[in-house]
Structure 1
Amino acid sequence: MRITIRDHERGILFKDGNYRGNLKPGKHFIIPFSQTKVEILDITKPFYIAGYHLDMFLQDADLCSELAIIDVADKEIAFHYVNDKFQVVLNTGKYAFWTPLEKHTFTVVTISDPEIHDHIDKDLLAIPQLKPYCGVYDIEPHMKGILFFNNILQRTLEPGRHYFWLGFSKIDITKVDMRKREIEINGQEIMTEDKIPIRFNFVCQYKITDALKVVVEVKDYEQQLYILLQLILREYVGTRKLDDLLKMKQEIAAYVLKALQEKGPNYGVEFLFAGVKDIILPGEIKDILNTVLIAEKKALANVITRREETASTRSLLNTAKLMEENQTLFRLKELEFLEKICDKIGHISLTGNSSLLEQLNSLLAIKNS
């Protein structure tokens, strides 16, 4: 019986069910009824014969010379390339591929270690075939990530896309927002040195500088920062009297900010700004202060009035002295007042013996004529 093997084929010869050889392209003659069988395989496809273990064929050196063998162990996967082009991901197992027409190469990686090393092409990690094996984690531009394998701290992840092997390790990433934040204290009641309870509305601004410290070393860091701000504010206000506090709003903010900046590195943060929004007084204290303010303003108004009166009197005195010393100036002043009178009154009758009155009658008589 004649069998023809074409160029893209190979014949696997069996006799009595046992492997006996590899038939190359060409014509071959088989004795009929001799329990001989030929399995023709397409060498563009993986080497596989149902019902037979691959190791049985690999004892043939001639056959092995035409096969690329890859044995993928447990906790490993292999990237299969054909003519340097990625084809498929191979799971645990032994595989054989024909090499006469195509070049087969492999990259074996151990996925028991979650880290993906640099020799792996990162562009391949996003393909659907790798989804069961590879986890994709995105860190936003304003974030940093703290990486844990099996609850063991590894490192800080910078913004970007990160890949890790799945399946044999628990992978956790805690994201930390690195943008500026605010802490507000609203209606915080604090006793001053003179035993007056006042309420504060206070705000401060900060940003995280050490994401690792915030996640690993500080529990509920926002609550701890809030308590720290409360204590510093109480420490300052408790040693000042009410009048001083009302005059020193800027000094309060400067003191609190400096104290926060000294403590900030212990919490992995940097404080940028602090300020007093409001100081709220008890009702009765507010009434007293309003009364004091009104009294102060009235006293100030009286002082100003007296000062103006004194200045006016002083000016009149100086004018009188000048007119006494200079008769011409005196006469000019008389004429000035006379002009003002004449502008407003049409006829004036005066009696008396002073020269001024006589001149005034004379001038009025001339004006009426």
Structure 2
Amino acid sequence: MWQRFLIRKNERALLLRDGDFQRLLAPGEIRLFDPNKRYSVCAFPLETALFEHPLADYLRRNEPALIADQFQVFDLGDEEAGLRFENEALAEILPPGSRKLYWKSAAPQRLERVALNEGCEVPAELLARMAQPGLRGRSIAGLGAVLNVQVPAFHLGLLRVDGKLARLLQPGRYGYWRFNRDIAVELVDTRLQALEVGGQEILTRDKVSLRINLAATWYFDDVELAYSCLPKPAEHIYRELQFGLRAAVGTRTLDELLENKQLVDEVVSRHLDAKLQGFGVKVTSLGVKDIVLPGEMKALLAQVVEAEKAAQANVIRRREETGATRSLLNTAKVMEDNPTALRLKELETLERLAERIDKISVFGGLDQLLNGLVKLKA
């Protein structure tokens, strides 16, 4: 008929009768006459400083003396956040409108209020406390309420507050409160970037289908201007490269394109200079990587090239034959008027013949041999 309740030194407890609050129990042993088992005890370990119970609001309204004696009250307005320090170490970030009770008998608690209507940026000193909480030996509750941004070198950050561009962030670390506003940061690479337009099927003016691959390099001339005019600058440059390429190829014949491959680069460059003016982006260089012809067109071009080379070879051969004939005619005229030159020619011919003969038998002397081979008529 008696109930015994033991409250340890590191605990506090609420005595309930039929679920209703009766009183707060301090550490020690409690004996109650309770034949009908109407009493119960709800114990709270002081390792957890936060007091959470369905009767918390009831105690606030009806037991103000108890609240003032046993609890620290951390109440926040709609335009302020809270930093709860436990043993002077940041333990929790409280959202606006929070209503919290903490046991005074637990670890020392302290609250710092942050006015959200005075700015959304987290001070650098506080941000350093929030960085790498795992290395500090304990986590910080509610850390997701802070947008932690690291802007790398050679990048800029576009800070948008409620969808509007607020400022540009230089390389470094930044933190922003997410309470009562929509915060987003987009990183932008300010270095030279490559862009390729591949596999573009385009018809020339003489109805020949070509597949062209184009490469370009570009960079941000003015990041803020670029993103104020264009939602996705890289995609805009890609489309303009496509349009410029079609304008360069579609208005020219295949022969014109093959004779001057730099023509496409020049036309596309002029197109981009006109279309990208005032958008904060700049294309530094571009060029056609390759032009792919259909299979049948390759065979026809090979035949044309073969025919042209054969004709050029025939012209060269005829030219050489004409030159050789003219040289023989000039030699004949010289020998006709000069017997000595004719005699030298005869000796040269005899020398060539002698080179091909392994053995020579001479009868009657060398003069008889020469007279027998060649006879000169006056």
Helix, strand or coil: the match of 2:276?
Answer: helix
Report % sequence identity. Answer: 37
Q: Which amino acid aligns with 2:264?
A: I
Corresponding pairs, count: 275
* Kept after mapping to 2: 8 A contact 1:77/1:111: no
Q: Could you report, residue by residue, the CA deviation over 1:58-98 in whole angstroms, capped at 9, with x for unpaired residues?
A: xxxxxxxxxxxxxx997266899xxxxxx5569899xxxxx
Q: Which amino acid aligns with 1:110?
A: A
* Kept after mapping to 2: 8 A contact 1:192/1:242: yes
> Which residue matches 1:206?
218
- Alpha-carbon shift at residue 215 of structure 1 (Å): 3.7
- Alpha-carbon shift at residue 117 of structure 1 (Å): 6.3
CA distance in 2, matches of 1:306, 1:167: 91
Helix, strand or coil: the match of 1:193?
Answer: coil
- Alpha-carbon shift at residue 252 of structure 1 (Å): 0.9
- Alpha-carbon shift at residue 256 of structure 1 (Å): 0.9
* Kept after mapping to 2: 8 A contact 1:186/1:202: yes
Q: Which amino acid aligns with 1:187?
A: G
* Kept after mapping to 2: 8 A contact 1:218/1:267: yes
- Note if 1:115 corresponds to 2:121: yes
Helix, strand or coil: the match of 2:168?
Answer: strand
Helix, strand or coil: the match of 1:179?
Answer: coil
- Note if 1:304 corresponds to 2:316: yes
Q: Which amino acid aligns with 1:222?
A: A
Which stretch shows the higher mean deviation, 237-246 or 277-286? Answer: 277-286
TM-score relative to the length of structure 1:
0.61
- Note if 1:177 corresponds to 2:189: yes
Q: Could you report, residue by residue, the CA deviation over 1:145-189 in whole angstroms, capped at 9, with x for unpaired residues?
A: 110123232011122211334534332101223333333333322
CA distance in 2, matches of 1:115, 1:215: 22
Helix, strand or coil: the match of 1:169?
Answer: coil
CA distance in 2, matches of 1:158, 1:152: 18
> Which residue matches 2:258?
246
CA distance in 2, matches of 1:220, 1:78: 38
> Which residue matches 2:370?
360
Helix, strand or coil: the match of 1:360?
Answer: helix
TM-score relative to the length of structure 2:
0.60
- Alpha-carbon shift at residue 362 of structure 1 (Å): 7.3
> Which residue matches 1:24?
none
| Gap runs ≥5 in structure 2 | 1-64, 70-75, 100-111, 134-139, 374-378
CA distance in 2, matches of 1:360, 1:268: 95
CA distance in 2, matches of 1:152, 1:136: 19
> Which residue matches 1:347?
360
CA distance in 1, matches of 2:113, 2:237: 49
- Note if 1:162 corresponds to 2:174: yes
| Gap runs ≥5 in structure 1 | 1-49, 55-71, 81-86, 94-106, 351-355, 364-369
* Kept after mapping to 1: 8 A contact 2:204/2:252: yes
* Kept after mapping to 1: 8 A contact 2:81/2:113: yes
Q: Please tell me whether Structure 1 or Structure 2 has the larger radius of gyration of its CA atoms.
A: 1
> Cα gap change, 1:176/1:320 in structure 2, threshold over 3 Å: closer, same or farther?
same
CA distance in 1, matches of 2:321, 2:367: 31
RMSD (CA atoms): 3.8
Q: Which amino acid aligns with 1:236?
A: A
* Kept after mapping to 2: 8 A contact 1:76/1:110: yes
